[in-house]
Structure 1
Amino acid sequence: MVHKKPIAFFDVDETLISIKSMFDFYDYFLAAVGHSAEEQHRLQAAARDLLRPGLPRVQGNRLFYQRFAGYKVDEVAGIGREWFAAHLDRGGLFHTDVLDALRAHTAAGTTTVLLSGSFPACLDPVREHAGADLAMSTQLEVRDGVYTGEVTRTMIGDAKATIASELIARAGVAAADCHAYGDHVSDLGLLRLVGHPVAVGTNAEVLAVAEEAGWARLPGTPG
């Protein structure tokens, strides 16, 4: 009988890593493509305005990625690797306790999957460094090697639980045997899906649910 490997799902921003990757990367990107300091400040402020209360997160996510329209995919990916390398040099990018958990799952033969509203330019180097098997992220439309600014798949909120359910079904494993790690209320659907949820960080609402349900917890310790 073939043993079916359980899956461990990891949210990325402020769960596996200590920052919001897409905004942090965007700051780096603006300088890398030659915007003046004044332009950088204006564009950064406009991007962060998409986090304002009342704007649905999926809508804000789509509006954010319009900012990459007209840029070559390879150019953006190269800047993403430079951004990631700079963070590794500075230290503190990964939550070491969560990274250790991911690598322990890998060593135990569990399939590890990153789920993120970020996009491949940020997520690919994170996945490679962590050693995760798969990354499911927001996907952008590409034509002739250039981003159009349109989003073809979001990975925000309920989308994480949806894709996790699909992967579990495709693998033929029981959700009760799977694991998930998340830090935000938008991760609760994912956490409730599996048999071994882990609440990461200090979000009061997530911790209240975790305490009531008896979930495991990790503090999320930057290393």
Structure 2
Amino acid sequence: MSTHRTDPGATTLSRPGEAAYLVFSDVDETLIRCKSLLEFLDHYFAERHGRQGRRHAAAVRARLASATAAGAGREEANALYYRAWRGELLTEVQQAGRRWYAGRRSAAGFFVEATHAALRRHRAEGAELVLVSGSFAAVLEPLAEECGAAQLLCTRPAVADGVLTGELVGEPVIGEGKRRAVRALLADRPHIDPADCHAYGDHVSDLPMLLEVGHPTVVGNSPDLLERLPHARRTAAV
């Protein structure tokens, strides 16, 4: 599949006609039930490197847990996660991402069905769907294709000579990074009023994105989100 880069955090998956409005959706625990980054970490390193890979993935998880316990934010943890991929071939990671998705997708209960159904309704109304995530394209592109998303706003690992460097291009698409990515895309759609747009998120780190649109929806029961968005729509994460 050919993709077109519009800015450091965006991947255009298709070129839709003029959309009625935009719909922004977080991915992990908003559209799908799992934490894709962690599941793919385990899958890839076990598949690619066997026992050594499993130890590596376990050590990465331990470092992430330790950093979080010490007060690291999701943005810092996200950057720490991508350092674990230093030295891996991009093509191998991309191919493994599609294998992981195919296997994971076949399991029952993969989607948060309320969100999945809502996104289908929006697309039927002529909306342009945008997935917004701290995950990366190797994991997200198969999901975006299935859901009919026109854009991915996601974290971009840096690549040199086809190899992941462990660094990032730009900032993680988390928290304020989501706000800036959403604003940049809306600026590229001057015919669309943000007040007409929708967004879905499950965690307080999604709040900056949710505040950029006229119709935010809280997925699940995050007390932080519900306190800050008392008038937002709510949908269960079941």
Show CA shifts across 1:58-109 (max 9, x none): 2221111011111111100111111111112222221111011111111111
Q: Describe the shift of the 1:160–1:80 C-alpha distance in structure 2 as closer, same or farther (beyond 3 A).
A: same
**Aligned mates of 2:96, 2:78 — CA distance in 1:** 20
**Runs (4+) of structure 1 moved beyond 6 Å?**
none
Report the Cα offset of residue 39 of structure 1. Answer: 4.9
Structure 2 contact 130–152 (Cα < 8 Å) conserved: yes
Give the superposition deviation at 1:42.
Answer: 3.4
- 1:201 and 1:76 map into 2 onto residues whose CA distance is 31
- The correspondence for 2:214, drawn from 195, 205, 209, is 195
- Structure 2: give runs of 5+ residues left out of the alignment: 1-16
Q: Distance in 2 between matches of 1:108 and 1:197?
A: 17
Distance 1:8 1:54, change over 3 A: same
What SS does the corresponding residue of 1:171 show, helix, strand or coil?
coil
Single out whichever of 34-43 and 179-188 deviates more from structure 2: 34-43
Q: CA deviation at 1:205?
A: 1.5
Corresponding residue for residue 69 of structure 2: 52
DSSP-derived class of the 1:193 partner: coil
Aligned residue for 1:21? 36
Contact conserved, 2:194 with 2:213, CA < 8 A, in 1? yes
Aligned to 1:160: 178
SS in 1 for 2:50: coil
Which residue does 1:8 correspond to in 2?
A: 23
Letter in structure 2 aligned against 1:187 = D
Query: Relative to 1, partners in 2 of residues 1:58 and 1:4: Cα closer, same or farther, differing over 3 Å?
Result: same
Instruction: Choose between structure 1 and 2: higher helix proportion.
Output: 1
2:225 counterpart residue number: 206
Cα distance in 1 for residues equivalent to 2:143 and 2:130 = 12
The aligned residue for residue 90 of structure 1 is 107
Q: CA deviation at 1:115?
A: 0.4
Instruction: Output the amino acid matched with 1:89.
Output: S
Distance 2:164 2:23 in 1: 31
Residue 9 of structure 1 and its aligned partner are, at CA, apart by 0.3
Alpha carbons of structure 1 residues 73 and 57: separation in structure 2 relative to 1, 3 Å? same
Match of 1:134 among 151, 154, 168: 151
Which deviations, in whole Å up to 9, do the C-alpha atoms of 1:140-183 show, x marking residues without a partner?
11111111111013201011111111111210111101111011
Number of residue pairs matched by the alignment: 218
Task: Tell me, in whole angstroms, the C-alpha distance in 2 between the residues paired with 1:119 and 1:35.
Answer: 23
Q: Report how far residue 209 of structure 1 moved.
A: 2.9
Aligned to 2:28, what secondary structure does the other structure show? coil
Give the RMSD, CA atoms, in angstroms.
Answer: 1.8
Counterpart in the other structure of 1:216: 233
Structure 1 runs not aligned, ≥5 long: none
Counterparts in 2 of 1:180 and 1:155: CA distance versus 1, 3 Å: same
Q: Is the 8 A contact 1:196 1:215 kept in 2?
A: yes
Q: Which among 172, 177, 186 is matched to residue 196 of structure 2?
A: 177
- Structure 2 residue identity aligned to 1:104: R
- What is the percentage of aligned positions where both structures have the same residue? 37
The alpha-carbon deviation at position 196 of structure 1 amounts to 0.7
